Amino acid sequence: MRPYRLIASLALGALAVGVPILLARTNARPAPRRVEWPVMGTVAGLTFRGGDAAAQDAVRESVQRTYAQLEGLLSAWAPDSELCRLARAGDTNAFAQASPATRPCYQAALALAAASGNAFNPRVGARLRELGFSHGQHFSDFDLGAIAKGFAVDAACRALPPDSPFAGLLVDLGGNLRVVRGDWRTGVRNPFGDGYAAVITLTNGESVATSGNYERFVERDGVRYSHILDGRTGEPVTGIAGVTVVTPPALGATLADGLSTTLFVLGPKDGARFLREHADDYGAAQALWIPDTPANPEILTTPEMAARLADAAFPVRVVR
């Protein structure tokens, strides 16, 4: 077998994603203000409409504290993190000993792994090292990189004061977005070129996450292999360029993040069936897939997502 060649990489084990593009609305509104900073191997951001500088700074400081705390606990790249300490126990039951701040993240990841038959599998750290994604600095075989950023977004939103003075507030961590207030439009990245493949409108409490094969991948014999692994085989997933998932407030950014990876692995047909078969837990999620067919691009969607899309650059087909 010829070796894989690493093409793109992110520090600290950032595992996913195409970052949606925030789009200005056409109606007259004050221009939003965005602030960004690096954390968890990616870029965090807050976008505000309204509110004074003091209120915006207070929100930024709160969100930064939450992200920094969770990075220290959930990192697979820091050998003294809580995750690495628990993973060394080598027993799933060890994760029941996680701190209250992180336990729901482990529970969500393990539940998604069980429901998907390990298509979503947090136990891929060793395989990521074998494929060259970690540069030898990945210290845990248990990796929450495919769900932890969404979890951090939810945690940050819960920590915000309920009476914020903003007309609009959007929380973002590496393309994992959650609307705190207002309506926002986001463009799903075109995986084959510039611009966006479609536009999605989000409203209060909704979240969106995208997983793509274009941010981080390896190449072998001229073929691109995503960093997203099929947890059942340990092999990089092929055939899908991007998956975007929208979730309601009850599922939050945690499951938008985890489901975008799960549905990337499962693909359109099995992914749509998965959502139907697990309707009680995940059925409220809406999803779209962009197959890795740049010569004949299309968007495959669940029925609910098809109704949400606007300005699609490719033909749209509903998967049932």
Mean pLDDT, rounded, of the chain: 87
What confidence tens digit (pLDDT) does each residue in 194-236 have? Answer: 999 999 999 999 999 999 987 666 666 666 677 899 999 999 9
The full set of domain ranges for the chain reads: 5-318
pLDDT given at position 40:
92
SS3 content of the chain, % helix, strand, coil (to 5): 30, 25, 40
| % pLDDT > 90, the chain | 71
Best CA proximity match to 256, nearest among 264, 267, 245, 240: 245
For residues 105 and 210, the answer to whether their CB atoms sit within 8 Å is no
pLDDT given at position 3:
35
Report which of residues 7 and 164 the model is more confident about.
Answer: 164
The reply to whether CATH 3.10.520.10 applies to domain 5-318 is yes
Distance CA 223, CA 6 (A): 12
What confidence tens digit (pLDDT) does each residue in 5-14 have? Answer: 332 222 222 3
3-state secondary structure 168-211: EEEEEECCEEEEEECCEEEEEECCCCCCEEEEEEECCCCEEEEE
What confidence tens digit (pLDDT) does each residue in 97-153 have? Answer: 999 999 999 999 999 999 999 999 999 888 888 887 766 667 888 999 999 999 999
What confidence tens digit (pLDDT) does each residue in 19-78 have? Answer: 445 554 444 466 899 999 999 989 999 999 999 999 999 999 999 999 999 999 999 888
Is the pLDDT at 90 greater than 90, yes or no? no
